[in-house]
Amino acid sequence: MIPKTEKDMEIIAKARGLQSICSGEEYERMITPELIEGRLRARQLTGEFNASLCGDVSSKKTDQQRESILKTLFGCTGQSIYIEPPLFVDYGCNISIGENFYANFHLTILDCGLVTIGNNVEIGPNVSIITGEHHTMIADRRANRGYEFTRPVVVEDDCWIGAGVIILAGVTIGSGCSIGAGSVVKANIPPFSIAVGVPARVIRSTQQGSTVE
C-alpha cells in the first residue's frame, strides 16, 4: 500500500489520541500503519478473538477475555463493548468505539482510515465498513497500481445498522439513524433518519428523542 501525498491535520490530531498507532511521517500521510507489524498485530489479536468462538460461549470468563482483546485491538473503546466472533479488521488501531456497543457475527472493518463509532450503536450480522478507495478509471488504476486512498467513516450515537449493510468510505451516519438490511451507504445520512436500499436513501425521518423503528 502506497501513501497519499497530502496530510489531513485534523484527522492526524485525532489519530494521535488513539492507542497502539504506528506513528511517523508515512503514517501521517495516510493515517494507517504501513508497517507489516501493524497488520500482523491485528491478525494475531483477531485470531485469538475468533478462536474464542470454539470455547464456552456462555462463560463469563470467555466474555471478559473477548472484551480484553477488543480493548487491546482497537484505538479507543468505551467500558462496555460486545462483538460476536468472527471479527475482521485491517489494523484495529484506527477504530474508536463508544459505550454500549454491540455487533453480531462477521463484522468487517477495513480501517486503513479512521473509523469512529459513537455510543449505543448496534450492528447486525455481516456488516462491512470500508475506508479504502481505488481509482474507478482503468487507466488510472494501471498508472497507480498499488495506490489506495482513504476517507474516514463516522457512525454517530444511537444508530442501528441492519444485517448485511455496507458502509463506504467518507460516510457519516448521523445520530439516531436506522439503516435497513442489505443497504449500501455511499453518502451521508442525516441524523434521525431511516435509510434503505442500494444506494441507501432516506425514506423517513424521526423526531429527536423518539423511538426509531
Q: Which residues are catalytic?
A: 134
The number of angstroms, rounded, from the C-alpha of 137 to the middle of its chain's C-alpha atoms is 26
Nearest 5°: the CA angle 100, 102, 104 is 175
Q: Could you please report the per-residue DSSP string of 36-104?
A: HHHHHHHHHHHHHHHHGGGS-TT-HHHHHHHHHHHHHHSSB--S-EEEPSPEEES-STTEEE-SSEEE-
Classify residue 16 by its DSSP letter. T
C-alpha cell at 194: 431511516
Q: How far apart are CA 76 and CA 117, in angstroms?
A: 10
Give the CA count within 13 Å in the CB-facing half-sphere of 167.
Answer: 35
Q: Could you please report the per-residue DSSP string of 143-195?
A: HTTTB-EE--EEE-TT-EE-TT-EE-TT-EEPTT-EE-TT-EE-S-B-SSEEE
